Structure 1
Amino acid sequence: MKPLVSLLLMLPLTATAQSPGDLPTLSLWLQGNFSSEQQSQQLENYFHLQLHTVPVWTASSSGPWLYMEQASFKRPERPYRQRLLHLQQTAPGQFTYTPYTLNQPQQYMQAWRYPARLAPLTPDQITVRNGCEVYLHWQAEQQRYHGQTRVGTCASKMYGASYTTIEISVYQDRIVKWARGYDADHNFIWGGSQGGYRFDRLSQ
């Protein structure tokens, strides 16, 4: 990561009030512990998954950074996806959600439960997933942040796909994520057949 970004991570954030539709609220609604248990009981072929998100690099002035982890309920200690997310506001009611991979993800497994594991993490230990940015906008009527990746830009080789699309809706009480894979000719290869995974916020 460029030295300028590293410098930004060391600068203090200005305290701001939170209200639906702003950047601090988007960050807050993404944070917490979530589960797809209820959906898995209602829909066939939807699994019981867990989603955990915690803040990291809280002194950054370049927008919130979050550590996100997804795992099966059966194997919470072995997450299948670990990401750093960088949130930025680009215009009133418009935001970007940029995912980064961790160069050594095994070092940070269950860091949402053990925050000290994130302490050694530095910007040179992550890699941006170019083309996988999610472009979100605030929808006041639905009281949600909603958006998706651009078509064909987020490369993926999973199950023979050429690229993936990610659609996300962020509510105060849940997050809905719909990932789908396509081949180079834009033919559907994999993904949820009845919409995205619905992660309900847990009370604890």
Structure 2
Amino acid sequence: MNLSSELTALAQYLTGEFTNQEQAIAEPAWYVHLRLWHQPVSLFTEDSFTLFAEQANILKLDQPYRQRLIRIQQFPGKASLQVQYYMPKNPTALRGAGANPAILKSLTPDQFELLPGCLLDVTANQLERDCAFLSAEGDRYHFKATLPPDRRCCFSYAGNTVQVSIGFEATPEEFLSYDKGIDSTTGKATWGAILGPYRFRKVK
């Protein structure tokens, strides 16, 4: 697999364990203190880099939730990256895999459901070089992944259709999550990054 320097850098920035501790302490009324995991998995390796994502309230680390796959792709003839999301068909079977990646060693694609509308377009801006945060090719980037207005990111949960607005920014130092739940009737956000992004820094 021959991945571009941009795709490699984005994969590097996203991989790891993250916390928004500083934000949660500064604004506890609006931001829950979360632990977020992005673990690499050996799926779709022919043209992509894929991560298993999971998060947990810091007070309930033994009850992680929101398991999903994040597949970073760059299609032939296209300069920009795209990020496709997948949902596990049996999230309970993968619970805790963020902190215990051994659970992920035997994953297969048929364990996940493609979410066609949950496809982000990624823009990349090259930053000034800083030897402390170089990618394998020596470049630094600011990535912004957004959901175009003509796409609706939805999935089924407990017999209901759930709509979410997703997006993120990533640099070597920080991961910003704009994910929030949407009331399909009113179009208003009901949970998540309502007042602005969750700001995570990498701890592992």
TM range (shorter): 0.7 to 0.9
Per-residue displacement from partner, 1:86-121 (whole Å, max 9, x unpaired)? 1102422x1111111111222222223322211221
**5+ long unaligned stretches in structure 2:** 129-140
Equivalent position SS for 2:99: coil
Residue 189 (structure 1) aligns with: 189
Change (3 A) 1:60 1:157: closer
Identity of aligned residues (%): 25
Equivalent position SS for 2:30: coil
Q: 1:179 deviation in Å? A: 2.0
RMSD over equivalenced CA pairs, Å: 2.6
Residue 8 (structure 2) aligns with: 24
Q: 1:23 deviation in Å? A: 0.5
For 2:35 and 2:62, the matched residues in 1 are separated by 11
Q: Is the 8 A contact 2:115 2:155 kept in 1?
A: no
TM, length-normalised to structure 1:
0.79
Q: 1:141 deviation in Å? A: 5.1
Q: Is the 8 A contact 1:177 1:196 kept in 2?
A: yes
Q: 1:134 deviation in Å? A: 1.3
TM, length-normalised to structure 2:
0.79
Q: Counterparts in 2 of 1:28-39, with a 5 A limit?
A: 28-39=12-23
For 2:155 and 2:69, the matched residues in 1 are separated by 18
Residue 124 (structure 2) aligns with: 138
For 1:58 and 1:161, the matched residues in 2 are separated by 26
For 1:24 and 1:145, the matched residues in 2 are separated by 12
For 2:100 and 2:43, the matched residues in 1 are separated by 16
For 2:189 and 2:52, the matched residues in 1 are separated by 28
**Structure with greater proportional strand content:** 2
For 1:47 and 1:166, the matched residues in 2 are separated by 18
Q: Is the 8 A contact 1:95 1:135 kept in 2?
A: yes
Change (3 A) 1:181 1:141: same
Q: 1:133 deviation in Å? A: 1.0
Q: Is the 8 A contact 1:164 1:179 kept in 2?
A: yes
For 1:175 and 1:197, the matched residues in 2 are separated by 8
For 2:146 and 2:195, the matched residues in 1 are separated by 17
Question: Partner amino acid for 1:172?
Answer: P
For 1:58 and 1:163, the matched residues in 2 are separated by 26
For 1:157 and 1:107, the matched residues in 2 are separated by 17
Q: Counterparts in 2 of 1:141-152, with a 5 A limit?
A: 143-151=141-149
Change (3 A) 1:23 1:189: closer
Question: Partner amino acid for 2:164?
Answer: T
Would you say how many aligned residue pairs link Structure 1 and Structure 2?
185
Q: Is the 8 A contact 1:131 1:150 kept in 2?
A: no
Question: Partner amino acid for 1:107?
Answer: A
Q: In terms of mean alpha carbon deviation, does 182-191 or 65-74 score higher?
A: 182-191
Per-residue displacement from partner, 1:110-148 (whole Å, max 9, x unpaired)? 223322211221111100112011111102359411021
Question: Partner amino acid for 1:89?
Answer: Q
Q: Is the 8 A contact 1:180 1:188 kept in 2?
A: no
Q: In terms of mean alpha carbon deviation, does 137-146 or 99-108 score higher?
A: 137-146
Q: 1:57 deviation in Å? A: 0.6
